Amino acid sequence: MRATDLDYELPPDLIAQRPAERRDASRLLVFDRRTGAVRQRSFAELPAEIAAYLTVVNDTRVVPARLHVRRATGGEVEVLLVERLDADRWEALARPSRRLHAGEGLRDDSGETAVELLEPLGEGRWAVRLAGEPQGELPLPPYVHETPADPERYQTVYARHPGSAAAPTAGLHFTPALLAALDHETVTLHVGLDTFRPLTTEVVEEHAIHGERYCVEGRAWARIGSAERVLAVGTTTTRVLETLARGGPLEGRTELFITPGFEFLRVDALLTNFHLPRTTLLALVMAFAGVAETRELYGLAIRERYRFYSFGDAMLVL
């Protein structure tokens, strides 16, 4: 598959800058792969579409991972924590990165060393040591220019385990009442560099996946594995379930890269937001819904002025 196959034109005013007033007031575009039927609904109507499914959500929690620090020379550096390595070490993106060097301490506004650069990992990535727990800003995507008045709107209502550098955005539409109305289970995948990094190659399958950490309780996997039909909420949940369906351990890292031609062994339906062009997320959606079908659905969503990306509307593929 070529990276150009993942291109599409989006009017900038369709990039959602703020969440819907109510989480479940988002729009929901429904596509039935078996019949080809397309329905336009409200997210609040989701239970009527998936009554026969076990719904699986990703309960990771976003950490305040965007740190603004300074070098001893006074130069400003932005550090984005993307994955915890152990108690006090993280993998991070630092910019500007070119002049930074291992052993350097970066200071916060109080003048104290907040981040120690340990080792360059390439592509602007560093292993860093953090003084305490992250105390930065919410790591909103660069295309969102407004910080939500309530930071919890960039967390799912079921977020429990801190560790993500970005929200599993398909889950942002759920309210506690809506989730309680569904038969559901949870898995944990901490969203890191792989989820939001754009493709780096012209041939999609040649893109290098760095992997993300996940954990699933044995009881939860027993239910998921034996369920008649499973709905995965989001691409992160999909990667976890398909990793375990291929014999992966209940806790580890997944480097599963899902592209068109992939055989889905456990996911029977997919709930997802509308994704950026040239991303692994869009490749996964095309693998599940079909390349031509996804193009048609995105075209319809644009014509009908659906809201796109993190705070945007949702799509359900049955």
**CATH 2.40.10.240 boundaries in the chain:** 66-130
What pLDDT, on the 0 to 100 scale, is given for residue 132?
87
What pLDDT, on the 0 to 100 scale, is given for residue 209?
82
Options 2.40.420.20, 2.60.40.10, 1.20.1260.120, 2.40.10.240; CATH for 66-130 is: 2.40.10.240
What pLDDT, on the 0 to 100 scale, is given for residue 192?
86
What pLDDT, on the 0 to 100 scale, is given for residue 165?
92
What pLDDT, on the 0 to 100 scale, is given for residue 195?
66
What pLDDT, on the 0 to 100 scale, is given for residue 194?
66
Can you tell me which residue has the tokens 């919410």? 138
What pLDDT, on the 0 to 100 scale, is given for residue 308?
98
What pLDDT, on the 0 to 100 scale, is given for residue 284?
97
Determine phi and psi for 226, rounding to 5 degrees: -100, 0
Name 230's bridge partners: 54
**CATH 3.40.1780.10 boundaries in the chain:** 3-62+140-317
Nearest-angstrom CA–CA distance, 251 and 231: 21
Nearest-angstrom CA–CA distance, 7 and 5: 6
Q: Which of 145, 160, 187 is nearest to 310 (CA)?
A: 145
What is the dihedral sign for C-alpha 124, 252, 208, 233?
negative
Q: Reduced to 3 states, what is the DSSP secondary structure of residue 167?
A: coil
Determine phi and psi for 221, rounding to 5 degrees: -65, -35
What is the dihedral sign for C-alpha 121, 115, 77, 138?
positive
What is the mean pLDDT of each successive set of 10 residues along the chain, which is 318 residues long?
94 97 97 98 98 97 95 93 91 91 92 93 92 90 91 97 95 98 98 76 87 96 98 98 98 95 98 96 97 98 98 98
Q: At residue 156, what is the residue type?
A: T
What pLDDT, on the 0 to 100 scale, is given for residue 97?
86
Options 3.40.720.10, 3.50.50.60, 3.40.50.300, 3.40.1780.10; CATH for 3-62+140-317 is: 3.40.1780.10
What pLDDT, on the 0 to 100 scale, is given for residue 207?
87
Q: Determine contact, residues 169/272, Cβ cutoff 8 Å.
A: no
